[in-house]
Amino acid sequence: MLDIRLEGKAPIYEQLYNGIAQLISSERLKPDEKLPAVREVAKQLGINPNTVQKAYAQLEQAGLIYSMPAKGSYVAPRTHAAAALRAEAVKRLEASLYDAKKSGIPRGDVDELVEKIWSTDRNEGNS
């Protein structure tokens, strides 16, 4: 079963998408591992199966999972999943940077934040 908690203001399918994507990126879900059936997830989380199906469809469109007719959905091979997660992160970063620019945040402040994050990452041994 998936260990996902749905909370917050984001749509449920988006929370489910993000939760599964995080499980894939943290390798708690392994490549080619079968995901629980849509109805099983819906029952576990107490949500509509259509919501789960929408999240699975978006995960597949993003390249994080693949489906086999009459067999179910599976985690995509690591190279595909990693590339998809990276592309999604870049897209979110780009949108955030545009928002920062529109809000009048100076480029120097952005550069300082990037340096702070990257140096913290290096100190944790994850450069």
> CB-based contacts of 85: which residues, under 8 Å, 6+ apart?
21, 24, 25, 64
Mean pLDDT of 17-31: 89
Same domain (yes/no): 73, 90: no
Q: What pLDDT does 10 receive? A: 85
Same domain (yes/no): 17, 57: yes
- pLDDT averaged over the chain? 87
- Count of domains observed in the chain: 2
Q: What is the pTM of this model?
A: 0.67
Please give the residue range of the domain that contains residue 102: 80-123
Same domain (yes/no): 67, 95: no
Q: What pLDDT does 121 receive? A: 57
- On the question of pLDDT at 123 being above 60, the answer is no
Same domain (yes/no): 31, 55: yes
Give per-residue pLDDT as tens, 78-122.
777 777 778 878 888 999 999 999 999 999 999 999 999 888 855
